[in-house]
Amino acid sequence: MTQTDAGLSLPFATPMLGAPHRLRLVRASSDLWRVVDASGRAIGHLQVVAHPLGLRYRARRYHAPTGRFRDLGDFWSSDDAVACLRSS
């Protein structure tokens, strides 16, 4: 468990993005982050998923007509998951 500045226990720390991005991550829930571009528009979500071999990062996009998230893929790095959101 990790601690936030407010002292709340959260299961996952905020994923780190490697190369300089014009994107930022905004926590949406304990294991889900909104991927937001420089203009403030959400381009998708990044979900941390526990896996027996380590943490996986799931790229997700909200599909308004169905009111559900669509999974675009699971990745071993947060950078790869964000790249999937940017290019899809």
Look at residue 12 in the predicted model and tell me its pLDDT. 67
Q: What is the pTM of this model?
A: 0.79
pLDDT digit string, tens, across residues 17-73: 876 768 889 999 989 999 998 899 999 999 999 889 988 999 999 888 999 989 999
The angle subtended at Cα 79 by Cα 84 and Cα 75, nearest 5°, is: 65
- Note whether 55 and 48 are within 8 A (CB): yes
pLDDT digit string, tens, across residues 69-79: 899 999 999 99
